[in-house]
């Protein structure tokens, strides 16, 4: 007896506790007629909400995946770095594509498909800044710390570098602080930085000194192996038929970032 995921299923799941042989299972997003995809609303190039419409690379990739999985209707909902796991696991969204780096800790809470892109953590500074050439130069400088992101941890804990951290709710706010002179640098995946760099190309620049890999994954509810496998099949087709290369050029071609257009090595879905 399967306990499926719905309001009825939650009642059944309670009943299952008293029945021998009844096992609760994660219902798959695979085959659903309608899917809700969680994306960022404030990251140019990746996910940006303007005039009521979501636009960006992750929006287009989310649409491609959902259609390949059989969804007839795809809608989008804003997520942040701080609430991605919660919105997935309380069924507010079915998939998350939101510069969601795959990490061992996050993989305990959700199942990851992909990655759909392997970015590299880099640094963005104001044009004219010559004192920050690489990650070591962040020591003692004002580095923006976006809520819910692991990028700052990679600098402080992973590399033992000690910048002056300036907390901020999001990377869009970090960029505003950079433009306003309130921080000296923003450091995260280069694909995130590229979207902002393309928008503010006369005012900011990417240092182009990458120091980590950022494997951007598709978040699914924990245990959804079938959904994960279908996500990976959809991503394989996306790269093989040239869709990924076209979308990467569309959204990041103006950033001068060197883009990777080969199929990434996927995480396991088990």
> CATH code at 166?
3.40.190.10
157 domain-assigned: yes
83 domain-assigned: yes
65 domain-assigned: yes
Residues 101 and 55 in one domain: yes
Residues 125 and 209 in one domain: yes
96: pLDDT strictly greater than 70 = yes
145 domain-assigned: yes
Percent of the chain whose pLDDT exceeds 70: 90
108 domain-assigned: yes
Provide the domain limits for residue 23: 1-27
Write down the pLDDT at residue 257.
Answer: 81
Write down the pLDDT at residue 148.
Answer: 85
Write down the pLDDT at residue 21.
Answer: 36
Residues 241 and 113 in one domain: yes
Report pTM. 0.82
Residues 159 and 113 in one domain: no
Give CA–CA dist 172/39, Å, rounded. 14
How many domains does the chain divide into?
3
Confidence of residue 127 (pLDDT cuts 50, 70, 90): very high
Q: Which positions ≥6 away from 216 have C-beta within 8 Å?
A: 97, 99, 100, 101, 102, 114, 115, 116, 117, 118, 119, 189, 191
Q: Which of 196, 203, 150 is nearest to 173 (CA)?
A: 196
Residues 206 and 219 in one domain: no
Residues 10 and 81 in one domain: no
Write down the pLDDT at residue 25.
Answer: 52
222 upstream amide cis, omega within 30 of 0:
no
10: pLDDT strictly greater than 90 = no
- Tell me the per-residue pLDDT of 187-220, one tens digit each, with 9 for 90 and over: 999 999 999 998 898 999 999 999 999 899 999 9
């Amino acid at each position: 007896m399967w306990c499926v995921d719905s309001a009825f299923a939650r009642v059944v799941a309670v009943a299952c506790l008293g029945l021998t042989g009844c096992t609760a299972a994660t219902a798959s997003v695979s085959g659903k007629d309608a899917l809700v995809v969680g994306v960022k609303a404030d990251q140019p190039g990746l996910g940006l909400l303007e005039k009521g419409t979501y636009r960006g690379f992750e929006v287009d990739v989310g649409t491609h995946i959902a259609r390949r999985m059989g969804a007839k209707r795809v809608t989008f909902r804003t997520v942040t770095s701080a609430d991605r796991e919660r919105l997935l696991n309380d069924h507010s969204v079915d998939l998350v594509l939101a510069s969601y780096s795959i990490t061992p800790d996050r993989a305990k809470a959700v199942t990851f498909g992909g990655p759909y892109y392997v970015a590299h953590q880099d640094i963005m500074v104001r044009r004219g800044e010559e004192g920050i050439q690489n990650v070591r130069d962040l020591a003692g400088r004002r580095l923006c710390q976006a809520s819910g992101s692991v990028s700052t941890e990679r600098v402080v804990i992973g590399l033992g570098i000690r910048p002056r951290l300036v907390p901020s709710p999001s990377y869009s706010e970090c960029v505003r602080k950079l433009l306003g002179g309130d921080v000296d640098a923003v450091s995260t995946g280069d694909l995130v930085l590229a979207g902002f760099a393309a928008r503010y190309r006369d005012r900011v620049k990417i240092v182009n000194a990458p120091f980590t890999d950022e494997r951007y994954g598709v978040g699914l509810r924990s245990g959804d192996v079938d959904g994960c496998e279908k996500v990976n099949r959809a991503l394989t087709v996306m790269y093989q038929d040239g869709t990924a290369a076209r979308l990467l050029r569309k959204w990041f071609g103006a950033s001068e970032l060197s883009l990777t257009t080969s199929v990434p090595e996927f995480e396991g879905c088990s």
